Amino acid sequence: MPCFEFRISLVLVAPAFVQKIVCMIRRIFRDFLFIRAFIAGTPVAICKDLFGLRGDARQLLGQAAMEIADRASHCGSGLIILKEITAPEVEEVSRQLGERFIIAESPATTFLSLGTDEHSTYRASLRKKYRSVMTGRLRKFEQSGMYWKKVGNLKPYSQQLTALYMQVLERSKIRFELLTVNFFEEISQQMPESMFAMLCFKGKELVAFEMFLHDENALHPLYLGLDYRHRDQGALYFNCIYKIIELAEERDFEYVELGQTSYATKAGLGAVISPLYLAVCHSNPVMRWALRKLKPVLFPGTPTPRCQRTFKDIDALSSRLSELGVPFILGERHDD
């Protein structure tokens, strides 16, 4: 299991008004509510646990947590974060870890069903209104002159990818990590069999990218970069998601995970949210008390977007996701 130290803001996922207040305080006290955390998980957000929480392995989690705490102490880190914990595992994880660890909400991930037996593709399963919207966006992309190119070696594009990634990061309300040029140079060298990227060009100009991790059982959209000057011209953001859907359907997957953030937009495409959790502990009892008291502010839950009637048969799609073991929450239904 990878572990790493990370200088983290305790208001990373707090509401905007809390972040604004803290930002003002940091003009005078630069390190206010920053802390050096020892994290067991991965700095690359894949929305999965890396503990192997299956069967008898769960029983070892308490012992593993003790070893993690010992290593954190050796490194001088007081705060320990175990991430990410999925909804089916959270009760057992909490029991194994005991009262020292606080179970807090992490930003939820999202899943999109890609069809049923009756409607075998995402597009076929859409209601006429939403299918027409999708057709219009695809046509807009084609008419813009943009096109996609699949690449495995990202090093020649590393500077451009970093710039596009930064545009998205700067507009994001939740900033999990800050990637560097070196990340884009090295990832394809270190993981040549497990990653690729789809690059979107307009002429010779790179205007968007999507990076994927994959194996025979999964396709995980990892990072998105976008030139916002071209966002509306080719319905670029939506076509990035349509490209994910296309690639997943080519692999005969029944659903695809669309990741965290942009919940309302993804819900408009038919996606559902799936809760994720963190286990948080501090070696200082006073800090543990403070974390417990401030948990609703520091770790707010993800608001559940309204469930739009995007699909012809949303009940069949929801049932299929449940059968496949995907935990999710449906928002209040919105008839349009």
- Residues 87 and 50: their CA atoms lie apart, in Å, by 15
Residues 6+ apart with CB under 8 A from 27: none
Residue 206, pLDDT score: 97
Residue 7, pLDDT score: 74
Give this prediction's pTM: 0.83
Residue 44, pLDDT score: 53
- Residues 84 and 176: their CA atoms lie apart, in Å, by 13
| DSSP code of residue 126 | B
Q: Answer yes or no: are the C-beta atoms of 127 and 225 closer than 8 Å.
A: no
Residue 1, pLDDT score: 62
Residue 151, pLDDT score: 96
- Cα dihedral 27, 31, 35, 41, rounded to 10, equals 60
Task: List, run by run, the mean pLDDT of 10-residue segments along the chain (336 residues).
Answer: 71 75 88 75 56 59 80 80 85 87 92 78 93 96 96 94 91 74 88 92 96 87 92 93 95 90 90 92 89 88 86 86 87 68
- Residues 41 and 3: their CA atoms lie apart, in Å, by 6
- Residues 64 and 72: their CA atoms lie apart, in Å, by 12
- Residues 328 and 326: their CA atoms lie apart, in Å, by 6
For the chain, residues classed under CATH 3.40.630.30 are 115-253
- Residues 231 and 225: their CA atoms lie apart, in Å, by 11
Residue 95, pLDDT score: 87
Helix boundaries (H) for the chain:
16-26, 61-75, 87-97, 122-125, 128-143, 158-171, 181-190, 236-250, 263-268, 285-298, 314-323
Span 115-253 CATH architecture: 3-Layer(aba) Sandwich (3.40)
